[in-house]
A and B are shown apart, each in its own frame.
Chain A
């Protein structure tokens, strides 16, 4: 599975976007099928997102993206929406882990937040750690090699399963 090249439009949000507005708490025990999660993605932040997001689109945000609850659905709903990557000035710690463990690129970049606007078309090369946009290029730190293995397996569940079956073989 190659997730190295990502291209789409920018959805831009601010600082401290918490997991309650990414995936409201009231659905955490009522919506358990990942395929149904995208219809509630960012529901309390941007009602237009769920109906207009397209595969490959990226989210660009400010500081502390994903703060609050550790609920993994706040990552799943974006992943299932087709979001290709999230670029933020910083991420809440557990949200960052949940993203990488779900094979959704979480990329740290202050520059992206400074130069990109809603609707900009971008293309991202994860391997080289670069992002192209209409007016230029910015670079970000690539995902560390040790975490890439989880990423390339398609996420932590798949990674663990393949490790276990390799050990059993």
Chain B
């Protein structure tokens, strides 16, 4: 029997010819990724007796979680990280304002097909949009990887998602990801590798695809990959920092589960409070009042996301009493949106634009809801208390639905504004 992507990628990272699901391998990462939590990791690294990094060229640090620093404590963390970066000559360091670590890793050509990315962040699966094996690890583990350059990993079983047909107009990869999470449940892909296959993918841009592996963390997956194709290779041309060799699953490999999705039947979906697998179609939650709309995050803060929301907002004003916060996922996205006039559309509509980073996604700053308020967001998590207070609710949706809801003051179908 052939090998799955996960088996191939982890065998490669462990210097083995083959590996089987269930087996534990000692893997050597091509890239390690950490963010503001690098301050805590530095402390653990020193506690372990760490003196030098296994490879400073493979160590990537991006300041994004509280960026720029909202408090002295955060600022002190950032200062400590900058000193460490300087001392260890870490080339791939991206200071506040560059963007969200997962997006920056892709834009900088550091997430590459077939490679292993270990990140001290649960959404490191995102790197799978480039055909990399990306997975989240703990802070102690990251400190140990910095020191030793290796980590034990269990080779996961794999789930194949096969897309049949194309997404209907107005239906996005966010809706598709939520649809799949609704089917799998919060632990439906626990420990597993989720592979996205299907003709439909070839006509979906990198911006749109990114949402798919990013959100599989919410089904418990260890990693998730969009099978690399021409679109992937084109994106990496003149961008990839190193040469690479894509790894593809063998046609006869074994899957723990195959999920067939009639893509053209997927509807606009929302994740309702307080779990991501509490998924409902837009038609079931229309009319729910909202006070805040948030467009951004590693899930949906790219140029096409902003453009889709701007198309809904164009020439209109936000509903009275509604705040809309827009945070481009990176400085590149920010600049492109600026040049395309998209930011002007937001400001004219009454939205406010913040500097690239994670923003209020996990309740750090730049738009924390009040007690009793409801936020509609393009993020990937809606757990109780996620944005700062337990007494608030978060609905997750596509950029279009978030924009339409900001105009209506209630959860709303964007078709009402696009006719």
Complex: A72 Cα to B49 Cα, angstroms: 20
Specify which chain A residues have a CB less than 8 angstroms from the CB of B122 in the assembled complex.
70, 94
Say what secondary structure dominates the interface of chain A.
helix
Question: Which of these, B25, B49, B222, contacts A164 with CB under 8 Å?
Answer: B49
Specify which chain A residues have a CB less than 8 angstroms from the CB of B49 in the assembled complex.
160-161, 164-165
Q: Would you call B93 an interface residue if the criterion is a C-beta within 8 Å of the partner chain's C-beta atoms?
A: no
Specify which chain A residues have a CB less than 8 angstroms from the CB of B143 in the assembled complex.
157, 160
Complex: A146 Cα to B48 Cα, angstroms: 20
Q: Would you call B138 an interface residue if the criterion is a C-beta within 8 Å of the partner chain's C-beta atoms?
A: yes
Q: Would you call B366 an interface residue if the criterion is a C-beta within 8 Å of the partner chain's C-beta atoms?
A: no
Q: Are A156 and B144 in contact (CB under 8 A)?
A: yes
Specify which chain B residues have a CB less than 8 angstroms from the CB of A70 in the assembled complex.
122, 136, 138
Specify which chain B residues have a CB less than 8 angstroms from the CB of A159 in the assembled complex.
144
Q: Would you call A50 an interface residue if the criterion is a C-beta within 8 Å of the partner chain's C-beta atoms?
A: no
Question: Which of these, B136, B140, B144, B147, contacts A72 with CB under 8 Å?
Answer: B140
Specify which chain B residues have a CB less than 8 angstroms from the CB of A90 in the assembled complex.
187, 190-191
Specify which chain B residues have a CB less than 8 angstroms from the CB of A93 in the assembled complex.
190-191, 220, 222
Q: Would you call B175 an interface residue if the criterion is a C-beta within 8 Å of the partner chain's C-beta atoms?
A: no
Question: Which of these, A63, A72, A146, contacts B187 with CB under 8 Å?
Answer: A63
Specify which chain B residues have a CB less than 8 angstroms from the CB of A68 in the assembled complex.
383
Greatest chain B CB density within 10 A among A63, A92, A93, A163 is at: A93
* A94 in contact with B138 given A64-B190, A150-B152 (CB within 8 Å): yes
Shortest CB distance A150–B (Å): 7
- Beta-carbon contacts under 8 Å, B120-137 to A: 122, 136-137
Q: Would you call B148 an interface residue if the criterion is a C-beta within 8 Å of the partner chain's C-beta atoms?
A: yes
Q: Would you call B206 an interface residue if the criterion is a C-beta within 8 Å of the partner chain's C-beta atoms?
A: no
Complex: A156 Cα to B222 Cα, angstroms: 20
Shortest CB distance A123–B (Å): 26
Question: Which of these, B24, B136, B137, B220, contacts A144 with CB under 8 Å?
Answer: B24
Q: Convert A60-93 into 0s and 1s, putting 1 for each residue whose CB lies closer than 8 angstroms to a CB of B.
A: 0001100110101000000000000000001011
Complex: A165 Cα to B191 Cα, angstroms: 33
Q: Would you call A55 an interface residue if the criterion is a C-beta within 8 Å of the partner chain's C-beta atoms?
A: no
Complex: A84 Cα to B2 Cα, angstroms: 40
Number of interface residues of A (CB under 8 A): 27
- Beta-carbon contacts under 8 Å, B2-59 to A: 24-26, 44, 47-51
Specify which chain A residues have a CB less than 8 angstroms from the CB of B51 in the assembled complex.
164
Q: Would you call A147 an interface residue if the criterion is a C-beta within 8 Å of the partner chain's C-beta atoms?
A: yes
Q: Would you call B186 an interface residue if the criterion is a C-beta within 8 Å of the partner chain's C-beta atoms?
A: yes
Q: Would you call A97 an interface residue if the criterion is a C-beta within 8 Å of the partner chain's C-beta atoms?
A: yes
Complex: A16 Cα to B25 Cα, angstroms: 28
Complex: A159 Cα to B144 Cα, angstroms: 9
Specify which chain B residues have a CB less than 8 angstroms from the CB of A164 in the assembled complex.
48-51, 147-148
Q: Would you call B139 an interface residue if the criterion is a C-beta within 8 Å of the partner chain's C-beta atoms?
A: yes
Q: Would you call A98 an interface residue if the criterion is a C-beta within 8 Å of the partner chain's C-beta atoms?
A: yes
Q: Are B48 and A161 in contact (CB under 8 A)?
A: yes
- Beta-carbon contacts under 8 Å, A148-169 to B: 150, 156-157, 159-161, 163-165
Q: Would you call B385 an interface residue if the criterion is a C-beta within 8 Å of the partner chain's C-beta atoms?
A: yes
Shortest CB distance A142–B (Å): 12
Complex: A93 Cα to B383 Cα, angstroms: 18
Q: Would you call B141 an interface residue if the criterion is a C-beta within 8 Å of the partner chain's C-beta atoms?
A: yes
Question: Which of these, A16, A98, A160, contacts B48 with CB under 8 Å?
Answer: A160
Specify which chain B residues have a CB less than 8 angstroms from the CB of A163 in the assembled complex.
147-148
Q: Are B190 and A92 in contact (CB under 8 A)?
A: yes
Shortest CB distance A32–B (Å): 11
Nearest A residue to B50 via CB reads: A164
Q: Would you call A47 an interface residue if the criterion is a C-beta within 8 Å of the partner chain's C-beta atoms?
A: no
Complex: A93 Cα to B25 Cα, angstroms: 16
Specify which chain B residues have a CB less than 8 angstroms from the CB of A156 in the assembled complex.
140-141, 144
Shortest CB distance B149–A (Å): 11
Q: Would you call A25 an interface residue if the criterion is a C-beta within 8 Å of the partner chain's C-beta atoms?
A: yes
Specify which chain B residues have a CB less than 8 angstroms from the CB of A101 in the assembled complex.
138, 140-141
Complex: A63 Cα to B26 Cα, angstroms: 27
- Beta-carbon contacts under 8 Å, B171-223 to A: 186-187, 190-191, 220, 222
* A72 in contact with B138 given A147-B152, A161-B48, A161-B49 (CB within 8 Å): yes
Additional 13 contacts, C-beta under 8 A, given A68-B383, A72-B140, A161-B49 = A64-B220, A70-B122, A70-B136, A72-B138, A92-B187, A94-B137, A94-B138, A159-B144, A160-B48, A160-B49, A160-B147, A160-B148, A165-B49
